Chains A and B, each alone.
Chain A
C-alpha cells in the first residue's frame, strides 16, 4: 500500500474568496486511518486554519459528513485505505446542496427548520394523568419504528438527493423518515397534524424516488422506503376518504 496519499480539500474563506478552491495536501496513510484522521493530521501539522466539523469519531454524532470523491460520507467511517488504489488522490468537499460557511463547514439551519416542521416528537391528543404511569410499549411496537429512529441527522441523504438541490423547499429524506418514525410510534397521536407538511408537493410528492438517500445512509434508515410507505398510505387515505368521507385515517397505521 502507498504510504502517502494526496488529499484535495475544498477551501473557502468567506472574507477572501468568491468561491471555493482546492488545496492539496500530502498525508501519510496508516492502515487504520480514516479521512477524518487525515484532516486532523493536516490541521495539526500542516495548516491549522482548515475548518471542518467533527465530534464523536465513531459514527454517532453525525457531524463529520463530507463529500469524499463526490460521494456523501461520514469521514470518521471512511477509511483512507479504501481509496489507496484511486491514483492515491482523495477529493474532500463540503456536503453538496448546503450553503458553505467556511472550508468544509456547511450551514444547517434550513435543514433544522424543515425538521421542526414535521413535528418530530410525541404528540398526544388526550391528557393522561401522571398517576397512570408511563406509556408502555412492547418490543414489537418498538421494532415497528426502530429503523427510522436510528437517524443521526448527518444530512448525507440531503446531499445524495438531487431534488434537494433542485427544489430548495423540498422537506427532504431525513425529516420525512423522522416524521414517519413518530407516525409509527404506538405512543404518538400526531399523524394527522403531520399530514399537511408531508402529503404536499414539497413533502412526499416532491420525491421522485431516486433512491440514493437510502444508499448513502450510514445508519440504514431507508428514508426512500419511508417516503414510499407514506405515499402509499396517503393514496389509500385519499381513496378511503373518498369512499367513506367520515372518520378514517390510514396514516395511523400503528400496531
Chain B
C-alpha cells in the first residue's frame, strides 16, 4: 500500500519533491466570459483578414472593367456574403473599441507634470472614427 502511494505521487522536481502542478486545460478559455472575449478577439483577426481579401478582390474587379465589377457586386449581394460581412463588421467594431480604449494606457500623455485623463486620450480616437464614418457614409449613400 505504502509503495503504491509513493509511486502515484507527482514526479520529483529539481527543487522540491512533491509540488503539485495543475495541468492547464485546452479549454481554459471556456466558461469565463473575460477569457472567451479574449479568444473571440484573437479570432476576429480572421474576419479582419477576410475584409482585406474582399477589398483586394474588389480592386481586381474594378480593374477588369464594368462587367466584372457588376458580377462582383452581385456576388457581394449573396446572403452568405452579407452574413460574413455582418459578422466581420461586428468583430471589427469589437476590435476597434478594444484598441481605442487601450490607447490612453499604452500612450500616457503628460501635460505639465499631470497625466491626461484616459477619456481625453480615447475620445479623439472615437471622434475621428465617427467623422470618418460619416464622411464615408455620405459618399456611399449620396
**Given A14-B17, A215-B34, are A229 and B8 neighbors across the interface (CB < 8 Å)?**
no
Contact assessment for B105 and A107 in the assembled complex, using a CB-CB cutoff below 8 Å:
no
The answer to whether B5 has its CB under 8 Å from any CB of chain A is yes
Q: A101 vs B115: C-alpha distance in the bound complex, in angstroms?
A: 42
The answer to whether B113 has its CB under 8 Å from any CB of chain A is yes
The answer to whether A209 has its CB under 8 Å from any CB of chain B is yes
Contact with A along B16-38 (1 / 0, CB 8 A): 11111110100011001011001
The answer to whether B80 has its CB under 8 Å from any CB of chain A is no
Contact assessment for A229 and B35 in the assembled complex, using a CB-CB cutoff below 8 Å:
no
Contact assessment for A231 and B106 in the assembled complex, using a CB-CB cutoff below 8 Å:
yes
Contact assessment for A255 and B17 in the assembled complex, using a CB-CB cutoff below 8 Å:
no
**Given A14-B17, A107-B16, are A162 and B28 neighbors across the interface (CB < 8 Å)?**
yes
List, in ascending order, chain A residues with CB within 8 A of B35's CB: 162, 210, 212
**Given A100-B19, A144-B110, are A165 and B105 neighbors across the interface (CB < 8 Å)?**
no
Q: A100 vs B13: C-alpha distance in the bound complex, in angstroms?
A: 13
The answer to whether B102 has its CB under 8 Å from any CB of chain A is yes
The answer to whether B15 has its CB under 8 Å from any CB of chain A is yes
B12 to chain A, nearest CB (A): 11
Contact assessment for A97 and B24 in the assembled complex, using a CB-CB cutoff below 8 Å:
yes
List, in ascending order, chain B residues with CB within 8 A of A100's CB: 19-22
Contact assessment for A208 and B16 in the assembled complex, using a CB-CB cutoff below 8 Å:
no
Contact assessment for A162 and B29 in the assembled complex, using a CB-CB cutoff below 8 Å:
yes
Contact assessment for B24 and A166 in the assembled complex, using a CB-CB cutoff below 8 Å:
yes
Contact assessment for A225 and B105 in the assembled complex, using a CB-CB cutoff below 8 Å:
yes
B109 to chain A, nearest CB (A): 12
Contact assessment for B17 and A18 in the assembled complex, using a CB-CB cutoff below 8 Å:
no
**Interface residue SS majority, chain B:** loop
B122 to chain A, nearest CB (A): 13
Contact assessment for B21 and A224 in the assembled complex, using a CB-CB cutoff below 8 Å:
no
**Given A143-B113, A162-B35, A215-B34, are A99 and B19 neighbors across the interface (CB < 8 Å)?**
yes
Contact with A along B61-85 (1 / 0, CB 8 A): 0000000000000000000000000
Q: Which residue of A lies closest to B15 (CB)?
A: A109
List, in ascending order, chain B residues with CB within 8 A of A231's CB: 106
The answer to whether B10 has its CB under 8 Å from any CB of chain A is yes
Contact assessment for B105 and A222 in the assembled complex, using a CB-CB cutoff below 8 Å:
yes
Q: A139 vs B114: C-alpha distance in the bound complex, in angstroms?
A: 10
Contact assessment for B20 and A19 in the assembled complex, using a CB-CB cutoff below 8 Å:
yes
**Given A16-B5, A162-B28, A162-B29, are A107 and B108 neighbors across the interface (CB < 8 Å)?**
no
Among A17, A18, A70, A255, contact of B32 (Cβ-Cβ < 8 Å): A70
Within 8 A of B (CB), among A209-230: 209-212, 215, 222, 224-225, 228-229
Contact assessment for A209 and B20 in the assembled complex, using a CB-CB cutoff below 8 Å:
no
Q: Which residue of B lies closest to A106 (CB)?
A: B19
The answer to whether A140 has its CB under 8 Å from any CB of chain B is yes
Contact assessment for A107 and B24 in the assembled complex, using a CB-CB cutoff below 8 Å:
no
List, in ascending order, chain A residues with CB within 8 A of B19's CB: 14, 99-101, 107
Spell out B's residues near A (CB within 8 Å).
5, 8-10, 13, 15-22, 24, 28-29, 32, 34-35, 38, 42, 102, 105-108, 110, 113-115
A-B contact pairs, 5 of them (CB 8 A): A15-B18, A99-B20, A139-B113, A212-B35, A229-B105
Known: A99-B20, A231-B106. 12 other contacts (CB 8 A): A14-B17, A97-B22, A99-B16, A99-B21, A138-B113, A143-B114, A162-B28, A208-B38, A212-B34, A215-B34, A232-B106, A255-B113
